[in-house]
Amino acid sequence: MADMKVDELGVSVARGPSLMTGAVPTKDWQEVPAVFKPGNYCYPAKASMVEYHSKSLPGLFGEPREWDVESDDWKLPENWKEIIINGMKERLDKFRSFKIFMDCCVRCGACADKCHFFLGTGDPKNMPVLRAELLRSVYRNDFTKAGKILGKFAGAREMTFGVLKEWFMYFYQCTECRRCSVFCPYGIDTAEITMMARELLHLVGVGTNWILEPAANSNRTGNHLGLQPHTFKENAEYMLDDIEEVTGVRLKNLNFNRKGAEVLFVIPSADVFADPGIYTFMGYIMMFEHIGLDYTISTYASEGGNFGSFTNNELMKKLNGKMYAEAKRLGVKWILGGECGHMWRVLHQYMDTMNGPADFLEVPKSPITGTVFENAASTKMVHISEFTADLIRHGKLKLDPSRNDNRIVTFHDSCNPSRGMGMLEEPRYILKHVCNNFHEMPENTIRESTFCCGSGTGLNTGEIMELRMRGGLPRANAVKYVKDKHGVNMLSCVCAIDRATLLALMQYWNPNVGVCGISELVGNALIMDGEKERDQDLRFETLPGMEGDADV
């Protein structure tokens, strides 16, 4: 847990010496070195993990070695600067976004106070513009005439170990949430810049274990948790018992790796593993049973989340490729995806380009409503919220929203589905049909302006808990607002990383606010065929009106 207590941390956010509070640092930002202390950095990748990835993607992850972030010897290869500069050149030639974003920032500052890490830490280098300048200064020095001629006057500086340390610190204090990009007059997207910086860092073997190990697990076992096929299946099947206890209905159609199913359902694997994701999973499969969907879940492609996208393009592509490969092997017609964040950014923006064409699949058509998902005509992948909203619209779900009356719900737009694919209305439509108490958070903190949970992109790790609580502060604050105003006690979302990280965030800043996926609320509200009178929800909490003597 975070070292600091809520009160302490709160005071330090509101009064600590930082740009956020008007306290201007006395030194120019280029003269402030990055200092690593326990708690402000993620642990480096184990040599075994680097070695593992290097086997299939040679040259992209640097030399496998054990190294210490706090030490001044990162055991870098002798020609590390050359590797970085060459890597930068290669990426400038491969990505127009990178080139343009290096050139046309005018430092107007519109992005400065849009970043949750800046708001929570007050550290000036967390202003998106300065985060980008960390890279841009080197770009100017090595790739622009102005930088070569005018040097410091044009904001150029040489690549040094100090710069590398800054990169490691601040590109792992960016969750690629893209909020700054909404406000930038040129659409400069810090996510792109962070992605490039992380690719460069990996080239010289500077990566974090909490990204490379889950990525290795995803590659080998199919999911980032490293659940082997039998465990994955057992975990999922445990939930059938719980569902039966709550509803009196034994689900029959949960199955795995089944050839010839109509739909392959891909989930974020955390949904079969951890609370509260498991309740979301129950919601999914209850709904599928309710509508009689012919689906299967794969243990081989049992992860939607793509930890490769936090390292480089190549690993992202490699991990993503499993979904199509498995859809082809199983001979399904189309793919349905669960509630996950980065999974959907990768699916929406990269999948078809990287691993398509998916010409062995059909344009998704809901077998229940007949709706053809034209917006997924090429990837052949539909988001569970799109699918569910369509079912509700066509009256195909029997729902009793009053079963969620113990929940006063607000909705967190997860960054990637909202700013990466533009899915804002579907979850809200579902919420309005499955619960009676729904309140939006303040306007500048939702939809395209939504705030990150503070721990995405592989930052969901215990060693940086204080940083995470700071980064999540803007989100927590907006929840606190509706908690105080409307008594909100449930924060719903459509992202598995959110379900993991928001839980810790709420426990810290807003105790008594729970976290759930949308599908959990759907599961609660569903009136299943042959069900008993329900007196508990999926969490075994007593339903309103069924309290008897018990207190809620």
Partner 1 sequence: MKILYPFVAVIGLMLFAFLGVQVGMDSLFGIVIPYLAFLIFIGGFINKVVGWAKSPVPFRIPTTCGQGQSLPWIKQAKIDDPSTTLGVVQRMALEVLLFRSLFRNTQADVYDGPKLRYGSSKYLWLFALMFHYSFAVIVIRHMRLFTDPMPFFVPILEFFDGILQIGAPTLYQSDLVLLGALTLLFLRRIILANVRYISLPADYFPLFLIFAIASTGILMRYFVRVDVINIKQLAVGLASFSPVLADDIGSLFYIHIFLVSTLIAYIPFSKLMHMGGIFMSPTRNLANNSRMVRHINPWNDPSIKPHSYAGYEDDFRDVMAEAGLPLEKELPPEEPVAEEEQGKATETPAE
* 43 contributes a contact to partner 1 by CB under 8 A: no
* 123 contributes a contact to partner 1 by CB under 8 A: no
* 161 contributes a contact to partner 1 by CB under 8 A: no
List, as one string, the DSSP characters of 233-274: HHHHHHHHHHHHHHHS-------BS-TT-SEEEE--GGGGTS
Least separation, in Å, of the C-beta of 544 and partner 1? 31
* 375 contributes a contact to partner 1 by CB under 8 A: yes
From the list 44-52, 77-85, 165-173, 532-540, the region that binds partner 1 by CB under 8 A is 44-52
Q: For residues 147 and 528, which CB has a smaller minimum distance to partner 1 in the complex?
A: 147
Using CB under 8 A, pick the residue from 198, 333, 403, 447 that binds partner 1. 447
Using CB under 8 A, pick the residue from 17, 106, 432, 532 that binds partner 1. 106
* 432 contributes a contact to partner 1 by CB under 8 A: no
Using CB under 8 A, pick the residue from 123, 166, 199, 213 that binds partner 1. 213
Q: Exposure of 147 by Cβ count < 10 A (0-12 exposed, 13-18 middle, 19+ buried)?
A: buried
Q: What is the distance between the alpha carbons of residues 439 and 217, in angstroms, rounded to a whole number?
A: 38
* 242 contributes a contact to partner 1 by CB under 8 A: no
Q: How is residue 25 written in tokens?
A: 């640092």
From the list 33-41, 129-137, 238-246, 525-533, the region that binds partner 1 by CB under 8 A is 129-137
Using CB under 8 A, pick the residue from 36, 43, 161, 429 that binds partner 1. 429
Using CB under 8 A, pick the residue from 425, 527, 529, 547 that binds partner 1. 425
* Interaction residues for partner 1, span 174-203 (CB under 8 A): 178, 181-189, 192
* Interaction residues for partner 1, span 490-529 (CB under 8 A): none
Q: For residues 56 and 160, which CB has a smaller minimum distance to partner 1 in the complex?
A: 56
Q: What is the distance between the alpha carbons of residues 121 and 115, in angstroms, rounded to a whole number?
A: 10
* Interaction residues for partner 1, span 259-288 (CB under 8 A): 259, 273
Q: What is the distance between the alpha carbons of residues 323 and 301, in angstroms, rounded to a whole number?
A: 6
Using CB under 8 A, pick the residue from 42, 69, 127, 467 that binds partner 1. 127
Q: Exposure of 473 by Cβ count < 10 A (0-12 exposed, 13-18 middle, 19+ buried)?
A: buried
* 108 contributes a contact to partner 1 by CB under 8 A: yes
Q: Exposure of 183 by Cβ count < 10 A (0-12 exposed, 13-18 middle, 19+ buried)?
A: middle
Using CB under 8 A, pick the residue from 40, 173, 219, 492 that binds partner 1. 219
* 221 contributes a contact to partner 1 by CB under 8 A: yes
Q: What is the distance between the alpha carbons of residues 314 and 308, in angstroms, rounded to a whole number?
A: 8
Q: For residues 272 and 543, which CB has a smaller minimum distance to partner 1 in the complex?
A: 272
**Amino acid of residue 465:** M
Which residues fall within 8 angstroms of residue 194, CB to CB, at 6 or more apart? Answer: 131, 171, 174, 176, 457
Q: For residues 347 and 528, which CB has a smaller minimum distance to partner 1 in the complex?
A: 347
Q: What is the distance between the alpha carbons of residues 371 and 389, in angstroms, rounded to a whole number?
A: 11
**CA angle at residue 456 from 284 to 487, to 5 degrees?**
65
Using CB under 8 A, pick the residue from 64, 77, 162, 226 that binds partner 1. 226
Q: What is the distance between the alpha carbons of residues 530 and 260, in angstroms, rounded to a whole number?
A: 28
From the list 158-166, 345-353, 461-469, 513-521, the region that binds partner 1 by CB under 8 A is 345-353
Q: Exposure of 309 by Cβ count < 10 A (0-12 exposed, 13-18 middle, 19+ buried)?
A: buried
Q: For residues 308 and 523, which CB has a smaller minimum distance to partner 1 in the complex?
A: 308
Using CB under 8 A, pick the residue from 240, 274, 291, 325 that binds partner 1. 325
Half-sphere exposure of 552 (CA within 13 A, CB side): 18
490: three-class secondary structure by DSSP: strand
Interaction pattern, residues 288-317, with partner 1; x per rule: CB under 8 A:
-----------xx-------------x--x
From the list 67-75, 148-156, 166-174, 513-521, the region that binds partner 1 by CB under 8 A is 148-156
Q: What is the distance between the alpha carbons of residues 61 and 53, in angstroms, rounded to a whole number?
A: 7
